[in-house]
Amino acid sequence: MGKSAVKVYIRSRPTSLATESLRIAPDRRTVLVDLKKKEEAGPVNNQQENLTFKFESILQTTSQEGVFTQCAQEVCDNVLTGYNGTVFTYGQTGAGKTYTIAGDTNRYEQRGIIPRAIHYLFHEIDLREDREVQVRCSYLEIYNEIMYDLLVENPGTADNLVVVDEGGTVKVKGIVKAPVANEEETLALFFQGENGRSTAQHALNKSSSRSHCIFTIYLETRAGADEKVVSSKLNLVDLAGSERTKKTQVTGQTLKEAMFINKSLTFLEQTVNALSKKESHVPFRQTKLTSVLRDALGGNCKTVMIGCIWGEQSHMEETVSTLRFASRVKTLMTDAVINERNDPTLLLRKYERQIYELKQELAMRDTLSGRGRISYNDVGDLERHELHETVRKYLKGEIQLDDIAIENLKMIKETFKQFRIVYEALDAELIEQRMKGNLPRGEDAGGMQDEVDKAEAGEYEPVGDEDKEASAGFHIGEAPPNARPVEDEATEGTSLPGIFKDSSYPETPPLIGGPISDKNMAYDGYKRDVPEGQEQASKLKQLTSDLKEQKRVLRQHGIEVNKAKQEIDLCTSQLKSFRSEQGETSGENPEEQHLLQQLKAAKSAYRQAFTNLKTQRTTVEPLVQQVAETRAALVENFNVWFAGQAGETTVEDEVLELPPIEKEPDTGGEDMAEQFDRMEMERVLGEDPESGAFHNARKTLRRKKPVPAASYYGDKGRAEGVRRLEQRAARIG
């Protein structure tokens, strides 16, 4: 793909902009800044400054979904193709960096780029039937210039992590790259890592990141029987925010952290400046952060930066500084390539297959040309012995050169070998005879014939059986019954446990308790007897029943997706155990072929079911909206009618419109907590059938025992301890 510029987006917190200083042009790409003159700066420095910055897009009220689609989805697509990608956020403390990258990990709708990228990548991987993709992830934290592995339960000291250059690519040696089979597992690791991050409260952010964090997803993709492996990675980077410590009013440990943060961001700025001015020396090694980000800023990577800003007047200086930095980053060029290499195992498999095919081809040609039965396999013991005899007879003059039958190249080589064996035996015998003084001068040549005999009689040792196994090939007309043309191998998919439970999507639960008021009775009458009420109530009834039916279909599609996922899992695990039992196979075993076919069919069924599910959602969503609107209109009209009839009270809710309480489902021995979990899952899946992995991963995390940071994080743990003590002291004081 060659060189490409880093793409820069600006996201503003959804507060009102200080429009007298900061305006967004109608193209939604340009920011116009009008810095008011500073009276106190005197005559020299009191000029008004107008600045214009242009970026890919300015996101002001864009939703989390919108930010992912606009800024990160393309990077994910590139990573799926085989390029490395990085998305990083930059900006003043509290400006929304963590909200953008990680999002609110407790609220599905507010999830950020990381969970969305995980979902997107796994979904796309599932749809690529012809590929086998192995996924891993890591979570790195740089806190006070020390690197920590957020996925390790008990890392002890953090000394084991170092940034290294491997073949021109930056790597963090020693970091855990955890293999993950699906979205849920990856999210669970991400949430676990999030829990270990260092945060603190200050005047501008009640949960401010005190470290830089990089969540990385690694993909290794193999396509069919191709020996090529494509490796790529996606870095999702949440930088700690620059802060004016006067504004954040931090003290103690948090102040120390702020100093580390500001220092590393200054070095980042210096690095970007040097790159942007194409200076010969770029100070990447000054900090851990710039070392780790080297590829993202100017190497083998496709990079996106999201600059986060506050729009308020009081933060204008920091906002301009972020915009200036962002403009410089925009000038950086990276040089991304598809990271492709040969897999030695697959290469060997390919060569074995080629040799096999060539042998068959040769055998066929020999038959067609009337050469009869010729073997192209290695020379066996028996053939070696026969050749040795032939050579011996030839040297004795008992046979002619034409009598040595040479069928193939391997036999020519073996014949030469046998000449050498006979020669060496003779040579040794001659030397021995000479040393004993048995050999009269001038008889060397004449005695040759005898020496051949002598050497042969005593010295010949059959060559070992090193090639025994190699002779296990087949001759023409003896092809094993399972020999057949090599077919393209279908790929093994990643394991994908079903996330879509066999769930029902209950209607809104009825309100509990409370006597039915007069007003509610009037409401009932309104729907029954007043023509306007009658009409709306019957419309609502019809819509509710349509919705119920469409939700039933949606649920059915969910079940089909789930079934297909389970089938994929089953085939994948059967294939795995088959391969681990058989070791390396050439991919031609009928059982393996059968499993691969099944896997392919399951992936195809999954794709179809998923498409149906998505299509059905587009039917259900507007219906949900229509039901809500019709219901609200009915209640509102009733209120108006009722106010005209009687006193001024508000209707409780449209209690009587709700469906009757359904019979309790069979709990199948579930306890209360499990029942709650199941019902909660049914509810969230009803809202978004794709959210299962997110909620399950959160549930997994809740079940895990928290590990006290101070017990294993060394420096970081101590800092955490100091912070807690300070907070306690402040509370007591």
Q: Residue numbers of the site for ligand ATP (CB under 6 A)? A: 13-14, 91, 93-99, 205, 207-209, 240-241, 308
Element (H, E) at 172: strand 169-173
Rounded to a whole number of angstroms, the minimum distance from the CB of residue 704 to ligand ATP is 24
CB atoms within 10 A of CB 311: 20
Measure the CA–CA gap between 727 and 609, rounded to whole angstroms.
Answer: 53
Rounded to a whole number of angstroms, the minimum distance from the CB of residue 520 to ligand ATP is 39
Counting Cα atoms < 13 Å in the Cβ hemisphere of 204 gives 25
Give whichever of 63 and 157 is closer to ligand ATP, judged by the CB atom.
63
Element (H, E) at 259: helix 252-276
Give whichever of 208 and 319 is closer to ligand ATP, judged by the CB atom.
208
Rounded to a whole number of angstroms, the minimum distance from the CB of residue 153 to ligand ATP is 25
Handedness of CA 262, 263, 269, 271 (dihedral sign): negative
Give whichever of 207 and 649 is closer to ligand ATP, judged by the CB atom.
207
Measure the CA–CA gap between 142 and 164, rounded to whole angstroms.
Answer: 15
Give whichever of 196 and 493 is closer to ligand ATP, judged by the CB atom.
196
Measure the CA–CA gap between 216 and 172, rounded to whole angstroms.
Answer: 11
Has 224 been labeled as part of a binding site? Answer: no
Residue among 232, 216, 214, 221 at smallest CA distance from 84: 232
Give whichever of 212 and 350 is closer to ligand ATP, judged by the CB atom.
212
Residue among 322, 267, 342 at smallest CA distance from 89: 322
Give whichever of 95 and 282 is closer to ligand ATP, judged by the CB atom.
95
Give whichever of 215 and 642 is closer to ligand ATP, judged by the CB atom.
215
Has 98 been labeled as part of a binding site? Answer: yes
Measure the CA–CA gap between 441 and 649, rounded to whole angstroms.
Answer: 138
Has 536 been labeled as part of a binding site? Answer: no
Rounded to a whole number of angstroms, the minimum distance from the CB of residue 15 to ligand ATP is 9
Give whichever of 89 and 287 is closer to ligand ATP, judged by the CB atom.
89
Give whichever of 108 and 578 is closer to ligand ATP, judged by the CB atom.
108
Please state the φ and ψ torsions of residue 583, each to the nearest 5 degrees.
75, -155
The residue at minimum Cβ distance from ligand ATP is 241
Rounded to a whole number of angstroms, the minimum distance from the CB of residue 102 to ligand ATP is 8
Measure the CA–CA gap between 629 and 618, rounded to whole angstroms.
Answer: 17
Rounded to a whole number of angstroms, the minimum distance from the CB of residue 562 to ligand ATP is 33
Measure the CA–CA gap between 651 and 518, rounded to whole angstroms.
Answer: 10
Rounded to a whole number of angstroms, the minimum distance from the CB of residue 247 to ligand ATP is 11
Six-digit token pair at 610? 């998923």
Rg (CA), the chain: 38
Torsion angle of C-alpha atoms 103, 28, 57, 694, degrees rounded to 10: 20
Torsion angle of C-alpha atoms 516, 520, 522, 528, degrees rounded to 10: -100
Give whichever of 308 and 326 is closer to ligand ATP, judged by the CB atom.
308
Residue with tokens 């040799």: 355
- Helix pair angle (381-396, 448-459), 10° resolution: 160
Give whichever of 240 and 297 is closer to ligand ATP, judged by the CB atom.
240
Has 192 been labeled as part of a binding site? Answer: no
Rounded to a whole number of angstroms, the minimum distance from the CB of residue 587 to ligand ATP is 49
**How would DSSP label each residue in 654-686?**
-GGGSPPPPPPPP-TT--HHHHHHHHHHHHHHH
Q: How many residues does the chain have?
A: 733
Please, are residues 79 and 85 in contact by the beta-carbon 8 Å criterion? yes
Has 92 been labeled as part of a binding site? Answer: yes
Dihedral-angle region of residue 649 (phi above 0 means left; psi in -120 to 50 means alpha; beta otherwise)? beta
Has 41 been labeled as part of a binding site? Answer: no
Q: Give CA separation, 410 vs 192, 377, 378, 688, in Å.
A: 61, 8, 7, 67
Rounded to a whole number of angstroms, the minimum distance from the CB of residue 106 to ligand ATP is 11
Has 533 been labeled as part of a binding site? Answer: no
Rounded to a whole number of angstroms, the minimum distance from the CB of residue 267 to ligand ATP is 17
Give whichever of 93 and 544 is closer to ligand ATP, judged by the CB atom.
93
Max Cα–Cα distance, the chain, nearest Å: 145
Residues 601, 605, 610: CA angle, nearest 5 degrees: 150
Residues paired with 221 in a beta bridge: 133, 230
Rounded to a whole number of angstroms, the minimum distance from the CB of residue 94 to ligand ATP is 5
Please, are residues 438 and 450 in contact by the beta-carbon 8 Å criterion? no
Give whichever of 95 and 627 is closer to ligand ATP, judged by the CB atom.
95
Give whichever of 182 and 254 is closer to ligand ATP, judged by the CB atom.
254
Rounded to a whole number of angstroms, the minimum distance from the CB of residue 179 to ligand ATP is 30
Residue among 609, 505, 604, 596 at smallest CA distance from 562: 609
Q: Give CA separation, 164 vs 161, 168, 175, in Å.
A: 10, 9, 12
Query: Which residues lie closer than 8 Å to 710 by C-beta, 6 or more apart?
Result: 717, 718, 720, 721
Report the DSSP pairing between strands 212-223 and 7-12.
unpaired
Measure the CA–CA gap between 165 and 160, rounded to whole angstroms.
Answer: 16
Q: What is the 3-state secondary structure (H, E, C) of 453-497?
A: HHHHHHHCCCCCCCCCHHHHCCCCCCCCCCCCCCCCCCCCCCCCC
User: From the annotation, which residues make up the binding site for ATP?
Assistant: 91-98
User: From the annotation, which residues make up the binding site?
Assistant: 91-98
